[in-house]
Amino acid sequence: MLVAGAFVALLVYGVLAQAPNRTIDDALSSSQVVEAPAFELRVLERGDPGRLGERWDAAARDGRVSLAELRGTTVVVNFWASWCVPCREEAPVLERGWQRARERGVLYLGLNMQDAREDARDFLGEFRLDFPNVRDPSNETARAWGVTGIPETFFISRAGKVVGHVIGTVTARQLDDGVAAALAGRPTGTEQGGSQLPTR
């Protein structure tokens, strides 16, 4: 009986330990903003951050970028991988959104995950994505953010608060609305986007 109880407790712990963090979506569902979970990840590609280049280069000087180093900048974080078919559908939409937003001082930041470095770089080249990208070879960052599949996109205010989240492929309207909310620092909630694949 004691062994069975210990096994059940271990099983419950394992499930909870693998469960995504619901903090962001729970806060957004109550029209609250929440501190963006911290990360420090290796730079995959610098891209062309335009007028944000000085800020990006200062943050990426050691080859890694932390979200804390970008505080004071409105950031759109997009989780993606080269093996993700919906990410391929979304890539041109993201690039066009980036071209619109960067003149407003908004930084798009791709967060490549569970991917081979060269495959990820080939993807960026194929779609001519020129916003900066960082890389997490695991899914640890995604779990901390509550990501259950890719792509997913988060909108972060200058104060480092998550104000919006799109699950699945994002539309141009969702990007523009999320950027506007992040610039204003007001919560916009969690929205369902298009298709998505589960994380590995």
Q: What is the CATH number of the domain that holds 83?
A: 3.40.30.10
Residue 159 lies in a domain: yes
Residue 157 lies in a domain: yes
Residue 192 lies in a domain: yes
What is the enclosing helix (H) or strand (E) of 125?
helix 117-126
The Cα angle at residue 117 between residues 113 and 121, in degrees rounded to 5: 100
pLDDT beneath 70: ranges in the chain: 1-20
Picking from 35, 37, 38, 40, the residue whose alpha carbon sits closest to that of residue 65 is 40
How far is residue 166 CA from its own chain's centroid? 10
Residue 4 lies in a domain: no
Contact 62, 52 (CB under 8 A): no
Residue 12 lies in a domain: no
For residue 181, the enclosing domain spans: 21-198
* pTM for this entry: 0.89
* Distance in angstroms (rounded) separating the CA atoms of residues 29 and 21: 14
DSSP H helices, 102-171, are 117-126, 140-145
Residue 120 lies in a domain: yes
* Distance in angstroms (rounded) separating the CA atoms of residues 44 and 144: 20
Residue 128 lies in a domain: yes
Domain tally, the chain: 1
94-148 pLDDT, tens per residue? 999 999 999 899 999 999 999 999 999 999 999 999 999 999 999 999 999 999 9
